[in-house]
Amino acid sequence: MIDVKIATNQAINYLKDIYKEGKSIRLEEVELSEDGKFWLITLSFAFEDVLFASPQRVYKLLKVRSDDGQVMAMKIRQIND
């Protein structure tokens, strides 16, 4: 099993590859799934949108396999204010 640091780096690299315009990536949450097969990693980043004057913070939940570090899924993570 890969450790949390490796899983987080895999998630960050994946996010950077998909969202090249994303800035200021932050680690928000990390959790190992109950069955131990996946790291569930929430990352946020600043995203400049033409409709907004200032960058908006976007949150993504990435599902990383714990045995080899492959990113299997990425979803929008809703944050309640």
Q: Domain boundaries in the chain?
A: 4-76
Distances, alpha carbon 1 to alpha carbons 6, 12, 26, 32, in Å: 10, 18, 24, 11
What distance in Å separates the CA atoms of residue 7 and residue 51, rounded to the nearest whole number? 34
Classified by CATH at the fold level, domain 4-76 comes out as: Nuclear Transport Factor 2; Chain: A, (3.10.450)
CB-CB contact of 11 with 41 (8 Å): yes
pLDDT digits (tens, 9 = 90+) for 8-46: 999 999 999 998 877 899 999 999 999 999 999 999 998
At 49 the pLDDT is: 67
For 62-73, how does the pLDDT look when each residue is reduced to its tens digit (9 = 90+)? 999 999 999 999
pTM of the full structure: 0.87
Torsion of CA 12, 17, 19, 24, to 10 degrees: 40
Task: Specify the DSSP class assigned to residue 52.
Answer: S
Both structure tokens of 67: 């045995």
